[in-house]
Structure 1
Amino acid sequence: LVESFGIELFDDGERLRLPDPIEPLEISAIEFGNSVDGDTMPRFDRELVPARAVQSSISLTFYDPARDYQTGEAKASVGEKGRGQAQFELPAALSAGDAKSLAQRMLARTWSDRDKLTLRLPRQRIALQPGATVELPFSPGRWTVDQITIEGFVPVIQLRPTTEALAAVAGESGLIVPNLDVVAGPITLTLLDIPALPGTPPNQPTILLAASQSRSGWKARSLEISFGGQSIATQTARGKSILGNATTALSGGSAHLLDEINSVEVALVDQDQWLTSCDNDALAAGTNLAVLGREVLQFGTATSLGGGKFRLSRLLRGRGGTEWAQADHAIGEAFCLLRPGAFRPVALPTWMIGTEVRATMAGSEAARLFTGETLRPLSPVNLRAEFAGGELRLRWTRRSRAGLAWIDGVDVPLGESSERYLVRITGPVGSIEIPVATPELVVDASAMASVGMGTVAIQVMQVGDFVSSRPEKLEIFIA
């Protein structure tokens, strides 16, 4: 503050204080050039620092009351003579005009101080104090005493030009997006354990944190994620999630066709948020991807019912291999639109699979049994069985959690370090489990005899590096 406002202080041996308020002293040229022993001395020494060595501009940051005391910046510059820019951070609240005027005065002092003058005066001037103003036969005529040294009763004074007062300069505060002065409402938290989304690491156990509130004025909030006796501190996403609950139960459908029969109604936490419809091309590009319960789906039509409620129809079901969750829908289950920047991915250790994860903040919490869906292989499909001559021949088609893009001309990538399956066959007499490394299996007659004749249940699971897929199931009757 002292430097910025140019306050003159000097040490009188006891404390820092302001110079005595006296009128400028007039010193004539006849008083110049004194020495201790009468030797001839220069009448004065004057040094002018080159303009190229002086900053040509000053940037001053301050707190602007017109912008809710956010930081503002005022600049002052003087042509292209100098080089560089001086940066000052002022711990004070100023209007934009006052800050601009202050920056101009600071720059004026910087350029004024490049002129240095040294005088050797008679002993009658020994009472001069730093900060005093004197009138001299130079241009400019008014100078301020910077320093005084007494050499054998000869006061040697160093001076700089006195900065004249400058007229006030107008300044603009600029635009501001103020924080709304509203009471913070309760936060709704939801933990999502779903297959890996595009752009997320495929081999990192991850759970998604979604958060919303019924009021406007959203900002990221701190919370704690706890699991297995440990906890980590994190924040909600910067963007508010479009979060809600189902008010009707969605019936099962097909994961292979556009579901134009079933629909579901959802109520959003924030009634001012909106869901939009899209055409089939946008659906094919991944638009309106959402989670309902444990199923990942897309909706093509969002019909507003008023009060933050929507009916979702024209559905693409079971996205990302979540067709298994179509039969588990219920009223009250969570709904979340998966839009970028509106949820927080939280990485977890692999040993957390099978344990509960809990998100906690003041007044809100959410819990989820973490099953590691980002690491889970997709279940095989097209399971076929042929029983002849006492032998059971099984075939199926492999799917990959890394091959959802359906790239033509190549097979889907494996997505795991090796291809492994576990086949479980259960009959009236007993059951057997057989590990295989290819998508086919022939069970000989002796093994089938241990299962027994009658209704036989077959399950095939792909074994991943961390967890196994959900089973593909088939029932046949053996006689």
Structure 2
Amino acid sequence: MARSLPTQEPAALRYYDEDRDYQPGVQRAIGTRQVGRELMVDLPATMNASGARQLANDSANRARWQHETVLWRTSEIDPRLFPGTIVRIPDAPGYWLLRSWEWLDRGIELELERLAPGLTTARISDPGEPLPPSDLVIPDTRLAAIEVPADGNANPAASLIFAVVSAENNAWRGAALFAVQGTAMVDLGTSGSQRAIIGTLFEPLPPSRALLFEPEAKAVIELVADDIALTETSIDGLAAGANRLLVGSEVIQFVRAAPLGNRRWELSGLLRGRGGTEHSAAQGHPAQTLAVLLDDSLVALDQELVPPLPTTRIAAIGRGDSEAVLAPLVNPGLSRRPPCPVHPRQRIDPDQSRHFSWTRRARGQWRWDNAVEVPLVEERELYQIGYGPTAAPHVTWTRSEPQLSLTQPEIASLRDTHGNADLWVMQVGTFDRSPALLLALI
């Protein structure tokens, strides 16, 4: 008896499943998977899952036994023995196939190959769940271009500009994106088939001081599609950055999301003014304000082709669009604008001199770390302090530290010359100035 080198067993069978609308299916043979790439048999036939499983098992079973052979010598000539005959060997189990015979000087040599034993029971298999294509009308592309607050992981000199591309149903398979430059359109690539979660405020969102978590605050938004859903999170999830929603120029986070029907969702448990956008939270937002979930479905755009300017526009063309869809850039310059300083303080000396101070913040620093100083991010630390209207102040000072001192004669001179007015401070960044922080009314 001899064994030849074992051949690779066919581990699976690919076929067309009649129970899955004739889609391709795969059934694997029983037994332990071998290391390495499996051998797949492609059978251009239609059958059910159980029949394909039986064929896969039979094919693998034959492959396991076909490499066992025997050279049997006999001195008798039997006319019933010819190639293809099935025989048995004394003191050996199973059946053997006569492959060939040869007449030698010492007898007749028979080449026998062991036949695979039959499988006792048929295996029942599941065809799986069919995935028929959606029979939907290809919808129009919904497009928005946004700039978001800085992220601490990104280059502080780069603008974070994204294309928000979505549609009403999943028959939409993506769109080509372009930057509009005059009468020309520059290719920006494709959006991919993942739809962004985009909508508008269904009801006005009232102003907020954006200082603490507001468990009872609510916002109602209307999404562009029925099959897009929002998820809930916890306070720990908010701290980790979950459920960030850009509403106009404000970033909010929400804990709970409840569907109201007709594409409307009620968001509750709000954390307002995130990422240094509390000045926008203080103004509130009217109905129909753009709302975008900030997740990985957004398409990042190159600021060299899509600059952070109010005149910037992008375009998208999908299979269901009869013409290009245009969108202006929302919040240009937001990602490179320093956040407003916070915590204004005033100390009055016995001689009526006043000392003003404040706390600096930095772009992209969403968390307050107590153990370390907030990184500067900008090229240098610089502040502009003004007396009077922020657009056209009567007097300005420039400081490199977060403090300003005014003596009583200086304060009296300001009042006599310009009257009572606001004293405010802005941080001067590398690319822009922050919103103003009110220090005092003098």
Q: TM tier, shorter chain?
A: 0.5 to 0.7
In the alignment, the residues of structure 2 paired with residue 290 and residue 136 of structure 1 have an alpha-carbon distance, to the nearest angstrom, of: 75
Q: What aligned pairs does 1:423-438 form with structure 2 within 5 A after superposition?
A: 423=384, 425=386, 436-438=399-401
- Name the counterpart of 1:413: 374
CA drift at 1:172: 1.1
What is the letter of the counterpart of residue 470 of structure 1? S
Deviations 1:351-381 (A, max 9, x none): 8442435252413846342635444432222
Q: What aligned pairs does 1:152-301 form with structure 2 within 5 A after superposition?
A: 169-176=122-129, 178-179=131-132, 181-186=134-139, 187-196=141-150, 201=154, 203=156, 205-215=159-169, 218=170, 221-227=173-179, 229-237=186-194, 241-257=196-212, 264-271=219-226, 288-299=243-254
For the pair 1:101 / 2:63, whether they are aligned, the reply is no
- Name the counterpart of 2:357: 395
Q: Give unmatched runs, 5+ long, in structure 2.
A: 73-81, 90-94, 101-109
In the alignment, the residues of structure 1 paired with residue 345 and residue 249 of structure 2 have an alpha-carbon distance, to the nearest angstrom, of: 27
RMSD (Å) for aligned C-alpha atoms? 5.1
- Find the residue that maps to 1:367 and give its secondary structure: strand
In the alignment, the residues of structure 2 paired with residue 303 and residue 116 of structure 1 have an alpha-carbon distance, to the nearest angstrom, of: 70
Q: Give unmatched runs, 5+ long, in structure 1.
A: 1-45, 120-131, 146-156
CA drift at 1:346: 1.7
Please say if residues 383 and 396 of structure 1, whose CA atoms lie closer than 8 Å, have aligned partners that are also in contact: yes
CA drift at 1:321: 0.9
Question: Percent identity over the alignment?
Answer: 22
The TM-score with structure 1 as length reference comes to 0.62
Please say if residues 421 and 460 of structure 1, whose CA atoms lie closer than 8 Å, have aligned partners that are also in contact: no
CA drift at 1:287: 6.0
Please say if residues 226 and 358 of structure 1, whose CA atoms lie closer than 8 Å, have aligned partners that are also in contact: yes
- Find the residue that maps to 2:358 and give its secondary structure: strand
Please say if residues 222 and 236 of structure 1, whose CA atoms lie closer than 8 Å, have aligned partners that are also in contact: yes
* Cα distance change, pair 350–464 in 1 and its aligned pair in 2 (3 A): farther
Please say if residues 151 and 364 of structure 2, whose CA atoms lie closer than 8 Å, have aligned partners that are also in contact: no
* Cα distance change, pair 58–354 in 1 and its aligned pair in 2 (3 A): same
CA drift at 1:463: 4.2
What is the letter of the counterpart of residue 401 of structure 1? R
Q: What aligned pairs does 1:370-385 form with structure 2 within 5 A after superposition?
A: 371-382=332-343
- Name the counterpart of 2:427: 462
For the pair 1:316 / 2:316, whether they are aligned, the reply is no
The count of residues paired between Structure 1 and Structure 2 equals 395
* Cα distance change, pair 159–332 in 1 and its aligned pair in 2 (3 A): same
For the pair 1:453 / 2:408, whether they are aligned, the reply is no
- Find the residue that maps to 1:317 and give its secondary structure: strand
Which of 328-337 and 205-214 deviates more?
A: 205-214
The TM-score with structure 2 as length reference comes to 0.66
In the alignment, the residues of structure 2 paired with residue 236 and residue 460 of structure 1 have an alpha-carbon distance, to the nearest angstrom, of: 46
Please say if residues 77 and 107 of structure 1, whose CA atoms lie closer than 8 Å, have aligned partners that are also in contact: no
CA drift at 1:292: 1.6
Please say if residues 25 and 127 of structure 2, whose CA atoms lie closer than 8 Å, have aligned partners that are also in contact: no
Q: Which has the larger radius of gyration?
A: 1
In the alignment, the residues of structure 1 paired with residue 348 and residue 306 of structure 2 have an alpha-carbon distance, to the nearest angstrom, of: 42
* Cα distance change, pair 477–160 in 1 and its aligned pair in 2 (3 A): closer
